[in-house]
């Protein structure tokens, strides 16, 4: 009977949070986890503010960070086209205007237009 009461008392203490104080190592792990979470949140905020080019269609990455030297060909490589055949249509939408891309000229390296922040690239098969 005493054993059952002792076990019940121990269970009540654990359930109510009356366990022993955490040691210094546990406090350090908790602090490190807090700092890591803060760093991740800061990185997400900075990434959200970074200009990007958006992709739709047969691609793996729907957003590609924009840089001044970003061209359509470079952005397509970063977006990772997933089609097994060449696309039949690529369009760039910029500020409500749609621009059709000559795929043959793009593939030959004859036409590789620069992209601007906020552009949307549609890759269709």
Domain boundaries, the chain: 52-124
Query: Looking at residue 5, what is its pLDDT?
Result: 45
pLDDT along the chain (125 residues), means of 10: 51 53 80 73 63 97 97 96 92 96 93 97 94
As its CATH architecture, domain 52-124 has Roll (3.10)
pTM (whole model) above 0.85: no
Query: Looking at residue 71, what is its pLDDT?
Result: 97
Query: Looking at residue 51, what is its pLDDT?
Result: 97
Query: Looking at residue 41, what is its pLDDT?
Result: 64
How many C-beta atoms surround the C-beta of residue 63 within 10 A? 13
Alpha helix locations (H) across 1-125? 2-15, 24-49, 72-79, 103-107
């Amino acid at each position: 009977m005493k054993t059952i009461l002792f076990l019940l008392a121990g269970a009540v203490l654990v359930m109510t949070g009356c366990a022993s104080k955490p040691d210094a190592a546990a406090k350090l792990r908790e602090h490190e986890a807090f700092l890591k979470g803060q760093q991740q949140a800061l990185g997400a905020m900075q990434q959200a503010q970074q200009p990007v080019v958006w992709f739709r269609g047969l691609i793996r990455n729907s957003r590609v960070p924009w840089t001044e030297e970003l061209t359509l060909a470079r952005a397509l490589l970063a977006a990772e086209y997933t089609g097994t055949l060449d696309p039949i249509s690529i369009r760039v939408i910029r500020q409500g205007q749609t621009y059709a891309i000559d795929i043959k000229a793009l593939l030959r390296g004859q036409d590789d237009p620069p992209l601007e922040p906020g552009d949307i690239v549609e890759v269709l098969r």
